[in-house]
Amino acid sequence: MAADLHMHSTASDGQYSPGELVKMGKEKGLQVLALTDHDTFSGAQEAIAAGERLGVKVLRGVELSAREYPSLHILGYGFSADAPSIQALCKKMQAARDERKYRIAAFLREKGVDIDLREVEELAGGAIIGRPHFAQVMVRRGYVQNNREAFDRYLDTEEYQKIERRKSSAQECVAAVKNAGGKVSFAHPYQVKLENGPLEDLVIKLKGYGLDAIECYYPKHTPEQQAFYLHLAEKHGLHATGGSDFHGERVKPEVEIARLEMELDWLLG
C-alpha cells in the first residue's frame, strides 16, 4: 500500500494541521498515513475524521524519545487513545518538554541569542514546544539563516545535550505502546550514530522489549544504510516501515511527504 508512516502536525512541531496533512497525503496518492507527533496524539481524531472524508486510512501514532541515546526515537502505531499506559507516558513527557523550554531559552541567552519565550509560545500556538519552534524564531530574528543552521550551531550540539529534557527508557516507551494495543517501530536508526554491530545489538534489545519493526525507508538513509536495516529486519523477524518525517517546508524545507509502497497487513489487521 502507498503510505507515509512518519508525519508531524501543529499538534507538536509541524507546520500544517492534522486535517491539512491528510488532504496533502491524499493529493500525494497515499492510501495510509500515520500522524506521529512528538509525545502527543491530540491531533489524531481530527486526522482520522479527515481520512474518513477523503478515503485515506489514518493511523493514530506518536513519536517517543528514549533516554539511552540522544536521538533514539520510538514510533507507536494503532494504539488505544484511552489506554492509561500511553496517556501517562505522554503526560510525563509533555511535562518534561514544558520544563525544558525555560532551559533552552537560558542556554541560548548564554550563547548571545536572546529569544523571547513568549514569541516561541505564540508561534507554537498552544502545541507542545519543540526545538523547531525555537529555530523558527531564531530565523525570524536573524540569528541564523535557516532551521538547519539553528540546529547545527545551537540546538543539536554536544553542549546542548547537557540541558536536554528528562526522557523515559526505551523499554518504558515500547511497553506503553504495546500495553495500549499498538505496534512499535524503531525510528530513523541512522540518527543513533552507532556502527553496524552495536546497532544490531540495540535492535536485539528493543525486540526483547516488544519491537515490531524498523523504519528502513527514510529520506536521509543512504542506500547502504537502507540495505543494512532491511537485512536486520529480515534477520530478526521484524517488519519494515518507512516515512518522510514531514514537518512542512517552513520547518524542514528539504523534506516532502513520501509515497512508499509497503506491506502493511500486520499493522492494519
- 35-72 tens-digit pLDDT: 999 999 999 999 999 999 999 999 999 999 999 998 99
pLDDT of 128 > 90? The answer is: no
pLDDT at residue 5, rounded to an integer: 98
- Could you give the angle at the alpha carbon of 186 between the alpha carbons of 18 and 263, nearest 5°? 75
Residue 121 has pLDDT above 80, yes or no: yes
User: What pLDDT is attached to residue 136?
Assistant: 92
Average pLDDT, the chain: 95
Mean pLDDT for 109-117 is 94
Does the pLDDT at position 126 exceed 90? no
User: In the prediction, which pLDDT does 250 show?
Assistant: 86
Average confidence (pLDDT) over 240-254: 94
Q: Would you say residue 165 has pLDDT above 90?
A: no
Position 231 scores a pLDDT of 98
* pLDDT given for residue 127 in this prediction: 81
Structure confidence at residue 216 (pLDDT): 98
Give the confidence band of 166 by pLDDT, cuts at 50, 70, 90: confident
pLDDT band at 158 (very low <50, low <70, confident <90, very high): confident
Domains of the chain, earliest start first: 2-90+166-268 (3.20.20.140)
What is the rounded distance in angstroms from the CA atom of residue 75 to the CA atom of residue 149? 26
Is the pLDDT higher at 250 or at 110? Answer: 110
Contact 69, 97 (CB under 8 A): no
Evaluate if pTM is beyond 0.85.
Answer: yes
